Amino acid sequence: MTDKIFPVALKLWLVFLLAFLLLGYEIVPSIIFGAIAGLAGGTVSAWWQTPGGEPAPPTMEPNALNKLGEKLNPGQVQNRLPFLKLFTRRDRRYPGPR
């Protein structure tokens, strides 16, 4: 960014320095006001030349709890951990009312 600011700022500083001197200001205020004007103009020029636009909308990254919930999907848990079938109710054992 500074490589875009300083060349334009130096040129504008000289233009404003000469303009303030021609308007009758003394040397020191002309240098100071010219430097301020040159820096402001260089900053605006660099901003104008820099491509940009609206920032991209933030993407929703799943947090740790959502990732864990996806991993512990009920169907996947029973497939991965066969001993959990021991704790499930089996309707074939009791086919009708007792």
Q: How far apart are CA 18 and CA 91, in angstroms?
A: 96
Q: How far apart are CA 52 and CA 72, in angstroms?
A: 42
Number of Cβ within 10 Å of residue 20's Cβ equals: 19
pLDDT band at 59 (very low <50, low <70, confident <90, very high): confident
Two tokens, residue 80: 């991965």
Q: Average the pLDDT over 18-45 and give the result.
A: 94
Under a CB-based contact definition with an 8 Å cutoff, are residues 42 and 50 in contact?
no
pTM of model > 0.75:
no
Q: Average the pLDDT over 30-51 and give the result.
A: 92
Across 6-15, 39-48, 69-78, least confident range = 69-78
